[in-house]
A and B are shown apart, each in its own frame.
Chain A
């Protein structure tokens, strides 16, 4: 079952940062989605290099993507350079958290 990059992005909007309750796309944690033939390469960041949840978030991402396409191999790279800032959040997330 072939999925598109927009489908993957939409699926990832179902993956929440559990501490905040906002999805990782709107939080600005998903930096790149590169869809290949049989795999998808994702580059994500965490809000802090001291955050131990990269494995948890990665597992949730893999489960979410494979719920749409069970055959798609999911490769995840954690990137902390540059460091995440609140400016990477979407307008919806910023609105929710009171930035406007």
Chain B
């Protein structure tokens, strides 16, 4: 399969194993999270309760995002990156050496940084620098974990991996509209300030809550200027994607606002993290799945209004979960969390059902 610049792209059928490992990591990671919330039916994931974050961030998203980047570059060498991430996931799922697992994620993070640099080389624009910073954040987190850092201490790097990757992609898309130079410069400045604040926070130089201010500012910028405000007025898939983005930005803003101390609860950190990781990141995933899965697999996933069901379920159940966090109610937290899992399961089932309906030969 001919890629660009004379290189050879990886045939879609060879991408499926990488995607499969990522999705298995997502499923196991979700069950591990539910067990941590006290849902006993997820007991099968007991060996992984301490690996919930690594499964979700590195094994699932690390594989998925680097796979997406490799598809964009259309160069077989770029697929070594999701290959390393997927192998890291397999190492974790088989409960093998943590040092080997972390090393594989470091290689994947380094690889994603390099492929992001290659993207910048092809198109030397600000939004691609932000993509490099996002990838480097994952690399930094992976390095720190190998050196013995706690999950809690590297969370800002994991969050930056998502926020900066998404921010870079949105800034690229916003070139379609005549955003002023001042608005673009403001966005770039917010990104730089956010990264600097997280270096300071991780180093213990400033309080944790300062690290969230950048996210709040980025969310406000996106809610004000992102092209999704325009495309939400359209129809079909375009409207669906825009509404996913806008709902995600609101969750990012909420995650940041929770640092102001307006709500005090022992579960504040949990609320902040899941508003960001679930509300912001998975709203993006639900919105982009109808185009990214076909892009990676070359299978059709036509838009259907049914896609709104898991999206709405995610929003409602996340609100319930956060209500449980705010009121320190274990039962509401668990109920909301199970609902989150159900939303993810429904999203996966709907995607598979659509693939089967539109891609298998009819009798």
Contacts and interface: CB of A to CB of B under 8 A. Distances in A.
Interface string A28-67: 0000000000000000000111111111100100000000
Contacts of A19: 173, 227, 231, 238, 241, 291
B325 to A, nearest CB: 33
B67 to A, nearest CB: 9
17 contacts: A18-B290, A19-B173, A20-B231, A20-B238, A21-B231, A48-B123, A49-B73, A50-B72, A50-B169, A52-B68, A52-B71, A52-B72, A52-B292, A54-B295, A55-B294, A59-B300, A97-B230
Contact of B295 (A49, A55, A78): A55
A26 to B, nearest CB: 12
A52 B123 contact: no
B262 interface: no
Contacts of A52: 68-69, 71-72, 292, 295-296
A8 interface: no
Nearest to A93: B176
User: Which of B72, B73, B74, B119 has the most C-beta atoms of chain A within 10 angstroms of its own C-beta?
Assistant: B72
A18 B119 contact: no
A7 interface: no
A52 B267 CA distance: 38
Nearest to A16: B238
Contact of A50 (B131, B177, B234): B131
A56 B291 contact: yes
Given A50-B119, A54-B72, 11 more contacts: A16-B238, A18-B291, A19-B241, A20-B173, A47-B173, A50-B169, A56-B295, A80-B4, A80-B122, A86-B175, A97-B230
Contacts of B295: 52-56
B237 interface: yes
Contacts, number: 86
B177 A98 contact: yes
A85 to B, nearest CB: 8
B204 interface: no
A78 B75 CA distance: 13
B65 to A, nearest CB: 10
A49 B127 CA distance: 12
Contact of A18 (B73, B122, B230, B241): B241
B71 A21 contact: no
Contacts of A59: 294, 298, 300
Interface residues of B, number: 38
B6 interface: no
A16 B236 CA distance: 11
A47 B71 contact: no
A3 to B, nearest CB: 23
Contact of A97 (B71, B131, B176): B176
User: Which of B69, B176, B227, B300 has the most C-beta atoms of chain A within 10 angstroms of its own C-beta?
Assistant: B176
B291 A53 contact: yes
Contacts of A99: 177-178
Interface string A72-100: 00000010100100100000000001110
A65 B71 CA distance: 24
Interface string B170-191: 0011011110000000000000
Contacts of A56: 291, 294-295
B201 interface: no
B137 interface: no
Contacts of A78: 4, 74
A54 B178 CA distance: 24
A75 to B, nearest CB: 11
B142 interface: no
B119 A86 contact: no
B128 interface: yes
A63 to B, nearest CB: 8
A55 B227 contact: no
